[in-house]
Each structure stands twice: as C-alpha cells, then as structure tokens.
Structure 1
Amino acid sequence: MMRKRPLKVALLGCGVVGSEVARIMTTHAADLAARIGAPVELAGVAVRRPSRVREGIDPALVTTDATALVKRGDIDVVVEVIGGIEPARTLITTAFEHGASVVSANKALLAQDGAALHALAQEQGRDLYYEAAVAGAIPLIRPLRESLAGDKVNRVLGIVNGTTNFILDKMDSTGAGYQEALDEATALGYAEADPTADVEGFDAAAKAAILAGIAFHTRVRLDDVYREGMIEVTAADFASAKAMGCTIKLLAICERAADGGSVTARVHPAMIPLSHPLASVRGAYNAVFVESDAAGQLMFYGPGAGGAPTASAVLGDLVAVCRNKLSGATGPGDSAYTQLPVSPMGEVVTRYHISLDVADKPGVLAQVATVFAEHGVSIDTVRQQGRQDGGGDASLVVVTHRASDASLSGTVEALRNLDTVRGVASIMRVEGE
C-alpha cells in the first residue's frame, strides 16, 4: 500500500541540471511514486537569483535561504546541484545533521572531502549518493560499488569530459588546430566561456579521484591525481598518431599495481590504438572502460554532460535513496578497507611517443639511442624525416617499449642537453594496448 505522506525533497540549485530535475519530478510524478512506493514532493528550491522566472516551479517554493531549507526537519532528501566546495559542503553536512539524506552531482567536493562526508553520513544514518558526479547519465558509480562489489577491479580507463573529447575529435577528424576546435566547442555550448577546468584536466582529475576510490576500495583525493591538460596537443601530434594507427584522447586512468600493493590515478592526453573501444568515442560523449578479474572488460558509454542526461542520474539516485528511506535502511557507503597508498607518477609504467627536432647530420641517431639506453628506456621504433624547407634540422620520432615515467623524464632531460637536439617537440604516452 502506498504511503500517504509524501517524501519531501529540497533542491539546492536550479540551473541547467536543477531545472531538469524539477521538471522530471513534476512530469513523471506518478511514475516516480509508483517506483518508490510513496509520492515525492518538491518542498523547496534554493537559488541565488529569486527574481528569475523558472517555468514549471511554484514561486512560493523558491528561496535564497538554503541553510533554512535544509534545517527544516521535515526534508527527507536534499538534492545538491550547485557545485563547488562552499557553501555546498556546509549545506550537505547540515542536511545530514537535520535528518536528510543527500543526492549530489558535486564532483569537486566529493574528490576533495568525500571521506569526511561519507563518515558523517554513516554517523547520522543517512545516504550519500552521487551517480551524477561522474560521466553524466552513464550508470557507472553504482555498477562499480554494487554490481562489481564481489569482483576485483584492476583498471579504469575513461573519457570523462565531453568538452575535451569534442575538441580532440574535431582536431582528429578535420585537421583543425586546438584554438579553432575550442572556438567551435564554445559556439555550440560544449565549452564554458572559461574552459580552464576542462582543457587543463581539473574536471577529469576530480572524476578520476572518485572512480579510483570506489574501484580500489581506498582513499584517493584530488591532490593524489597526476594531471596534464591537452592545450599543447597539435595537428602534428595527430599526424604522428595516425601514422601509428592511433588517435589521441584525454584519459582518466586509474590502476592497481600488479602486486596489488598500491594504486595510481592520472589524467593526461594519450595515444590509443584505433582498435581500442575508446578510440571510437566521438563528439561530446563519454565512455569508461573497466577491467576486472572475473567480469573481464566492460564498457560504459553515453552522454556525459547536459541538463537532462545529468538529471537522469540524479533522479535514479533519488529513487534509490527514497526507497531506502521507506525501508528504514541505507545504501552502500564508503568502502576504503584496503587503505592502499597512491604511488607517485614517476612509478607509472607505460609506452611513450617522443618527437625531437634534431640536427640533420650523421651520428645523431646513435647519440639519441645512447641516451635512451643509459636511462634504461628501450626503443621500439624510430622514424626520421628531413625538413621540407631544406634546412639543417630533421624530425626524429621515437616510440619506446614500456618504461617508468621517472626513467622517461630523465631521458628527456638528458636529450635536451645534447648539442644535436634542437628541442623536444612533444611527449605523449601510449595507452590501451
């Protein structure tokens, strides 16, 4: 029998995502009630600009006092979609302390303070769900922490930022330069006026911290994630990638060490073979590739941003939290029993593609090969090409076998000190093989 008293929801933020959450709660009210076992009522909407017209939302529900809203005591679930660290952190902790569970899309806050928020939720007997914090509409967090809870996840490799994937895909498919592709992404609404968080990898790094923590049952903070942006990727890099049968993606990579004693989390551009499933992810879409002992290789794919897709993930969490509320239970919380250390980037082992500008004369290749050998980095292939303008320089492309990042860094530093090396044009990791 359906419970008569509705479950009351406070919505913090009514922008692109929040307005879609409110719309779906209204238009799908009967279906949500049937799935949950009780009606769900939007009890209040906290905003910064109350005078703004919000279609489909009763103006009487709108308030600028978010703190008073989460302190009401009759609120069952708080949906936080305002983003940022503060006031989101204080509002979430206040909600827990006043009887509400929380659904959040706040990747930055969860990457920085997820452990503390989980601890408080457990202490207060509340739920903290955040499917929408990573990869938009794609069901990913719940499969990792529930469906794969009995398995051992070894690697998570993903495209988790739609803006950067759109830019790199445009550079790959049309030959456009970075700025040209960014301008198009901005015009189409895929990139913010200030795209720094996306193109410098901050957004993806926060998501990588969350994914690594869940996948490996350990604590990984944003500061633990190695990060490189993609603003220095050039058309020449794509030409080299194509020559190798690869493309370039900005990847979030979370790995468990072979001996199981540590984990790594990193975000950077990388070449991946065209045969890899992630290579075919186009436009602003996201995809995450998971490798585990028992399940093997799994691929999660779909729209990674946008109002309606992200709201879909928020509503899925809302249904789960409301069901828990009715049954008097809570869902899975923080699982960090392994307490594995996060290894520094220098210990990461992968392949590398290095492009050098060198003097076009005999003996240069031998000098370069000697430097690689001295630092324990084995060369797989070498390609040398003279400059078309007939100058005295040449382009030398070296692809290595697997080596540590520290060894590669030492190699590059030594190469820069060679008189015959005019410059290191680019360094890119090769993943997914």
Structure 2
Amino acid sequence: MKDIETIDTLDQLNIDLQGDVSSPLGFIAGGLHAGLRRTRKDFGWIYSTTEANAAGVYTLNRFKAAPLIVTEACIKNNQVLQAIVVNSANANACTGEKGLQDAKDTQAWVAKQLNITQQHVGIASTGVIGSFLPMDKIQHGTEHVMEEQYNHGEYFNQAILTTDTATKHLSVQVEIEGKTVTIGGTAKGSGMIHPNMATMLGFITTDANIESDTLDGCLRESVDESFNMITVDGDTSTNDMVLCMANGQANHTTLDASHPEWHKFEHAFNFVSQYLAKSIAKDGEGATKLVTAKVKGAITTEEARKIAKSIVSSSLVKTAIHGEDANFGRIVAAMGYASDSIVPSETFVTLAKISVVDEGMSVAFDEADLKAKLQEDNIVIEATVGQGNGEAAAYGCDLSYDYVSINASYRT
C-alpha cells in the first residue's frame, strides 16, 4: 500500500512495508487453519521470547466482547504479556459467562503450550457476533502454537482477516543510542469501522526498552491521532482493540519523555499507527478510494477532530466521492453541523487541491477538471474554519454499491 504512505518522516526512519509484528528482536508470529473457516487461516499468535511490557486500548461499545474483557483485566493487573492469540470468523461477543470462560480456557491452553503464565496471554477475536466459539477447533489451534511450520509473520497477518481484501502490516527502524530499535505492526479491519475503535484489531510490537506506563501513554496519544480518526461506515464494534508489547531486547537505556531521543521513538511509533489506520480506511468494505479530511483554524484540536471526522463520516460526502461528483455542498454541510465554532466567513475548502469555497462562498471551478481528479484513488479534502490553532486529520473511504452487497450477506 505504498500509495497511502504520505506521512512526513525523519531521515533516520527506515520503513519496511514487508515487515510486521514479527520484525522486532525476540518476536515470533504465526498462523494456521484451525477449521473456523472453510479453507483460510483463522488462528494466529504473537510470542515474545521474553516477557514484554504491555499496553492496550479497547472499544467504547458497551457490549464489549469476552476476549477484550479478559485481556484488559490481564494488562491492568500485570502490565505484562508474553503472547497474544487471535481467532477470526467468530467474535465471541454477546456470549455471557460461557464466552468469558471460553476465552480463559484458550488462555490456559496457550499458556500450557508455551510454558508461560496464563495471565501473560492476551486474547482477541473477530467475526460474527452472538455465536459460541467452537472450542474443539480453538483447542486444536492452540496445540500447534509455535510449531515451526506455522511460524511465519505473513501467516499471522492472514489469519486475523475477515472481509479485508489485503493484509495490513509494516515495520520501521530508528537508531537510539546507536542501537537499532524496531517497531512492527499488523492490523485488520474493513467494515464496522468508526472513530473510538471499530471492528478492527491492531497489534504493535517493539524491542524498545520502555516501561508499561510510558508505553500506555504513548499508545493512547498515538491512537487518538490514528485509529480513532478513521471511519468506514459509522459503526463501532464490540471487539476493537489495539495491543502493544515492548520486550526491551534492543538493550538501550529506558525510554521516556525525558530521554534525549524520545522524539525519535515517538515519531516512529506514530508512523506505524497512522500507516495501519490509513490501511484500514483504504480497505473499507467495497471501498475504491481513500478519503482524507484535513482541518485547520479550529479553536481547539478537539473541535478540528470533530469537524474532520464529520466530513469523512458523512454518507452523502462518501457517496459523492464514489460517484466522482464535485458536490462540495455536502462537505460544507457536514462541517457545519459538527461544530458551532466554525466561522463561515473565514472558511475555505479545497477538494482534490481545487478551491471550491472561499470565505464561505462558492468558487467557480472547472467541473470536468475536478471530476477527473476525483477519479484518483486518494482524495484529500482540506478545510480552514477560522483563525484558531486547532488542526487534525481524519481518514475514511467512499461508500459504494459493494458495501451493501457485502453486508447484506455477511453471515452467509
């Protein structure tokens, strides 16, 4: 997905678009077909050869799935993980006490297989809501965790997918204290995507030496500007989660905000988060275009975020982009109901780099020229809404006929 990599980078940042969660030192990932799907891989794992400090962020949906409840409790109590296992095809959501026990049983089986503490195993699931896990197949999967024939990062990348059309992963490297620090990431998500977590799973690993509390703060700040700024269809799922593990095997002194090279790590971490988030937005169910809304001039960053999210969330904006229709009125409308702090007379909008609104008034433009630009895969909407210092970017996609087709038959 090179075409969506548009984030400014430091010269020291080495990007590997073939990398993933298995790229940092001491991490192994793999996956196999356990039988939850007909033929595709459906069970995956990440393993650190040493205990790793951990952090996580979770869905705001009140119907939080069983694996999230179990994993969140483990990280809160221990701040350490050594393995994460993931199944696709079945969300283990709305499954009550049995669902919780099934998640804990999966934990126990994996812990025994790897000879590690049960509370150091994170659990994640994605797929259809409301069905119990076929535990015989889950147990079969756990019995083969870490077998050499299945240990391949790409197998993990494939095993976690649902309606995704492509795997989503990368790794970056940055020099800290003269030592190479690697951050790897893998994510899935295509539908049920909306800010504040969606039916998406994100996994980030690093061999950096960083304490759990610092890692937690870094993850939350990064998620606010990446995974929480994407939308496909306005639905927030029961299973959304981003987990991060840091095993310290790069062997430098402990990183925190007071470290002279902290900014390099933070930048690299944010790059991974934003790349994965944009990959999810671009791969929205039935999507043909990535839509980016950049807002500046808002009275606060939070207001800018609300406006940017409103633009990419609007069904009317999304359908206009899909139809390559230069209907900028839909953009202005989406901005106007998002925030009452917008100053219309100080509002400027460009669509695909062509000015369409100047000081709140429409601008004459070449319709054919703009339509041609809207045929591109990546569409950028830029808006100035006043003279404030708040700015933000949000990421979404167009809304196509295929989205309806995919979701009308999701369970079949």
* TM-score normalised to structure 1 length: 0.28
Greater gyration radius? 1
